[in-house]
Amino acid sequence: MKSMAIVIRDDSYDKILTPLVFAYLASAEGTQVDMLFVNWAVKALTVEGAASLCMDGRHAADEAMVRENVAKAGLPNDIYEILKALKSSGCVNFYACSLAGAIFGVNESNLIPEAEGIVGASWFLNDKAAKADHCQYF
């Protein structure tokens, strides 16, 4: 597998961990990973948004336990720190969906510097997802 495309929609802390971990694993094999953040997940590409991610619904009460165990596993338990670690691998690119950015308040002024930019979903689907060896949707 030379390339992987991942589309992330869910923004709760626990649900965003899985695609980030998969990207981390793929990058450790030298796989090029392109990630598109859509819907509420686009907020993760801002400093404030990444810091505000929490666990929803029936799992909310377990958030402290989950964060503690994430740290025990060796991962940063802060989403922005994970994004920075992924970026430093040199194999992972982050893109914010332009529609999601318009709806949820993410623009060039608050986008984290680790992100490649704000892009149209059509471009991502055609130039990244359709050409990738593997696609995942979360």
Partner 1 sequence: MSAFTVTSILDTSGKCCPMPIVETNKAMKGLALGDILEIIATDTGTQKDIPSWCERTGQTLLSTTEENGVLRYHVRKDR
Least gap, CB of 21 to partner 1 (angstroms): 5
Least gap, CB of 87 to partner 1 (angstroms): 13
Taking CB under 8 A as the rule, does residue 64 contact partner 1? no
How far does the chain reach from its first CA to its final CA, in angstroms? 19
The residue (of 88 and 126) whose beta carbon lies closer to partner 1 is 88
Among 57, 74, 109, 113, binds partner 1 (CB under 8 A): 74
Taking CB under 8 A as the rule, does residue 135 contact partner 1? no
CA distances from 27 to 17, 42, 47, 66 (A): 15, 21, 23, 24
Taking CB under 8 A as the rule, does residue 58 contact partner 1? no
Taking CB under 8 A as the rule, does residue 61 contact partner 1? no
Taking CB under 8 A as the rule, does residue 90 contact partner 1? no
Among 21, 99, 121, 125, binds partner 1 (CB under 8 A): 21
Taking CB under 8 A as the rule, does residue 138 contact partner 1? no
> Where on the chain is the footprint of partner 1 (CB under 8 A)?
1, 21, 24-25, 27-30, 72-75
